[in-house]
Chain A
Amino acid sequence: MSAMRPVFLHDGALVCSRGLTPAATAEALWRGDAASTQCRVGQQSFPFQALPLPEAGWWEHAQTAFRHLAGQLPDLPDDLPLFLASSSFDIGGIEAGGAPFSLPAGSAAFACQIGEWLGLSGPRSSYANACISGFSALDAAATLIANGLIDDALVLGFELANRTTMAGFASMELLSRDASRPLDRDRDGLVLGEGIAAIRLSATPSEWRLAGLRTGLDTHTPTGPDPSGGPIAALLAETLAAAGMSSGDIDLVKLQAAGSPVSDLAEAMALMQVFGQTLPPLLSLKPALGHTLGASGIVELVALLACLKHDQIPETSGFRHADTQFSTVFPVHRSTRPIRRPMLNLIGFGGGLASMILEREA
């Protein structure tokens, strides 16, 4: 086969709980903002990281959010391939329509509406692999670019508030009642959030190169990985090999860690297997952004790149006490150390795993 081309990241756009642009989000993360709103499910109430937009019906809320996102993007050719990632699509809009519920002709029909809102009428494909959806979409776009089948793509992740996801996660007892505490001794569950983010991938050089990306499966249980961390460690090793790097090359890990008792344990165990006793700085963005599920891969990628633009690694809100099961694995305090090769991890509902390594070009 012909040599593969390098793939670069350009033009991130972001609308999330911490701000309506990547720069605003990075500033809020550096300040340590992590305040949340409350969302009721039956008789219970859970924290939720909502978009800072005026209250509106679901469709108006979605359109406003996408308008903010579109406003950040440069002029794009209208035939730019669009790769979309979500785990809930327009379920909130279907809820808003009320009973009897009317489902669209296809489960990704909302992608067509998004294309219209963004002024993109070219080819589209959608990816729904729970929490790793964003990296599935990135992987597809990057694979086609690397092999010369397309030159550019916009990869977009979106997750908007809806009752179905919140109630479903509540029913599985996966949600915290007060805060997300990644890797903390007292962690007791996730805090969900909404967010939309986009990033352009291209064969044209930029500051950041996608060095390696791999996806995998760990179906130890339907909602949680093998607590030994073995399958996650294997995937991280595979991603390092794909990037042509060793664990010592990684100088930051953006964790999946969301405050889940089991998934955080599995990720910590995997990190110890891959990095040994000398772990790179660790960071979780989920306490501040919420777990944006199918969008989280792209939302956290764009937020991280906005932080690294100013050589700022924010603190992981919610972390207070190391867990004695993995006492050497804890998030870094705020840091201004320049980062060249970050690793970004995702662990998904239903067993999906994904990891990506970026490299900052000299």
Chain B
Amino acid sequence: MIYLRQLVRQQHSASALPAEVRRLLGKPLRRSTPLAQLAVAGVFASLPDAALGMPLAMIWQSSTGLQAETLVILDEVCNASCEPMPYDFLACQPAMVAAQINALLPSLQTTSHLPLEDASHCQWGTSLALASLWLQEGRYPQVLCGCLEITDNLARGDWLLLATSPGDTPLATMHQSDSAASETVTDSPDFPARLEILLAQPAGSDRRLRLQSPALPKLTVEFAR
């Protein structure tokens, strides 16, 4: 059985991110991009204390990625025609997000970043299917799936923590589904909001929500309260 342990939905002004990180960690996160700060804040908001030391895998997606940082490096390399500042190059590498989280959370075992083709395109179906299979295989006891976007001054993050153990209060169960009986949503940025509505139903409710990727119907997963 796979359990949904947490659904965390973040929305901050980019300028408020450092304070949010300091609130969660008790210290500032230095030399980090807004995307890395959003990721760190999301990871620590999603993991209950008892889960912090347990091996964790993370699958995260983003369409905007490190756009502002990429523009900085492009300007340095192409307009100044010289070597960029090393930090500026590191800052535009998505892999550095994982490095910053791992420095604070040694139980993070692996991460995979799925960049998106545009803001309307999501990989929740693939992310949740992979998480589910890794959990069933016994690779990891918990997998955190996230979607992070930073546009203008707005930083948004949606996170689902899935685990093989229910913890104290699991929010829902998740399983692969080929049933057509329940409410179905397609893979889109709205999916976390739809899941949030399901979770607002009383525990024991028979409401279910299926996430379906039309091009890959076997990846369909169903959440039940």
Contacts and interface: CB of A to CB of B under 8 A. Distances in A.
A and B interact? yes
A198 to B, nearest CB: 19
Interface string B81-118: 11111100110111110110011000011111111111
B129 A106 contact: no
Interface in A86-112: 87, 89, 91, 94-95, 98-99, 101, 103-109, 111-112
Interface string B193-225: 000000000000000000001011011000000
Contact of B115 (A108, A150, A164): A108
Contact of B133 (A89, A108, A147, A168): A147
For the complex of A and B, list the 4 residue pairs with the smallest distance between their C-beta atoms, beginning with the closest.
A350-B95, A168-B89, A107-B65, A108-B115
A149 B74 contact: no
A161 B150 CA distance: 28
A107 B64 contact: yes
B99 A144 contact: no
A217 B113 contact: no
9 contacts: A91-B70, A106-B118, A109-B118, A125-B114, A129-B98, A129-B113, A130-B94, A215-B110, A219-B103
B206 to A, nearest CB: 25
Contact of A123 (B75, B81, B115, B213): B213
B76 to A, nearest CB: 8
Interface stretch (B42-50, B119-127, B153-161): B119-127
Nearest to A350: B95
B74 A164 contact: yes
B111 A217 contact: yes
Interface of A: 1, 4, 41-42, 44, 79, 81, 87, 89, 91, 94-95, 98-99, 101, 103-109, 111-112, 122-130, 136, 139-140, 143-144, 146-150, 163-164, 167-172, 214-217, 219, 222-223, 348-352
A1 B175 CA distance: 11
Contacts of B119: 105-106
Given A127-B113, A167-B77, A172-B89, A105 B102 contact: no
A282 to B, nearest CB: 25
Nearest to B90: A222
Given A109-B118, A222-B96, A216 B109 contact: yes
Given A107-B62, A122-B215, A171 B98 contact: no
A163 B23 CA distance: 39
B67 A107 contact: yes
A89 B115 contact: yes
A95 B75 CA distance: 9
A112 B219 CA distance: 21
Contacts of B92: 164, 168
Contacts of B82: 42, 167
A1 B136 contact: yes
Given A106-B115, A125-B123, A147-B133, A351 B102 contact: yes
A109 B110 CA distance: 25
Contact of A350 (B66, B98, B123): B98
A105 B63 contact: yes
B79 A99 contact: yes
B55 to A, nearest CB: 11
A136 B86 contact: no
A144 B115 contact: no
Contacts of B70: 91, 103, 107
A98 B78 contact: yes
B102 to A, nearest CB: 4
A130 B95 contact: yes
Contacts of A147: 133, 136
B172 interface: no
Contact of A217 (B71, B94, B109): B109
Select the residue from A94, A106, A222 with max chain B CB neighbours within 10 A: A106
A217 B73 contact: no
A347 B6 CA distance: 32
A140 B77 contact: no
Given A128-B113, A143-B130, A148 B77 contact: no
A311 B76 CA distance: 47
Given A105-B118, A107-B64, A144-B133, A167 B84 contact: yes
B134 interface: yes
B146 to A, nearest CB: 15
A79 B215 CA distance: 8
Contacts of B78: 95, 98-99, 101, 163-164
B121 A106 contact: yes
Contact of A106 (B79, B117, B139): B117
Contacts of A348: 95
Contacts of A103: 67, 70-71
A267 to B, nearest CB: 18
Nearest to A105: B118
A128 B117 contact: no
A126 B115 contact: yes
A109 B215 CA distance: 18
Nearest to A4: B137
Given A106-B115, A148-B218, A352-B95, 18 more contacts: A1-B137, A41-B83, A44-B83, A99-B75, A106-B64, A107-B62, A107-B65, A111-B117, A125-B123, A127-B114, A129-B98, A144-B129, A163-B77, A164-B77, A168-B77, A170-B83, A171-B86, A216-B109
